[in-house]
Amino acid sequence: MIKSIMKISAAIAIAAGGIAFAAERNTPRVDTVFSTLKAGGTVYAGQVVGATNGYGYARVSELTNSLTTVGVAVNSAVSNGTLMVRSGVFGLKNDGAVTSSHIGLKGYAYTNDTAFTVSSSGVAEYGVITDVDDNYVWVRIGL
- The candidate with the shortest Cα–Cα distance to 49, out of 15, 81, 86, is 86
Tabulate helix, strand, coil % of the chain (nearest 5). Answer: 10, 40, 50
Partners of 89 in the β-ladder: 140
The rounded distance, in Å, linking the Cα atoms of 43 and 132 is 26
The torsion angle over the Cα atoms of residues 120, 124, 130 and 131, rounded to 10 degrees, is -70
pTM (2 d.p.): 0.71
pLDDT tens sequence across 22-66: 788 888 878 788 888 877 788 889 988 887 766 567 666 545 666
pLDDT tens sequence across 78-133: 888 888 989 999 998 888 888 999 999 988 877 777 777 766 655 778 889 999 99
Report pLDDT for 54. 61
Report pLDDT for 140. 93
The rounded distance, in Å, linking the Cα atoms of 76 and 15 is 51
C-beta of residue 137 within 8 angstroms of C-beta of residue 92: yes
CATH number, domain 28-143: 2.40.300
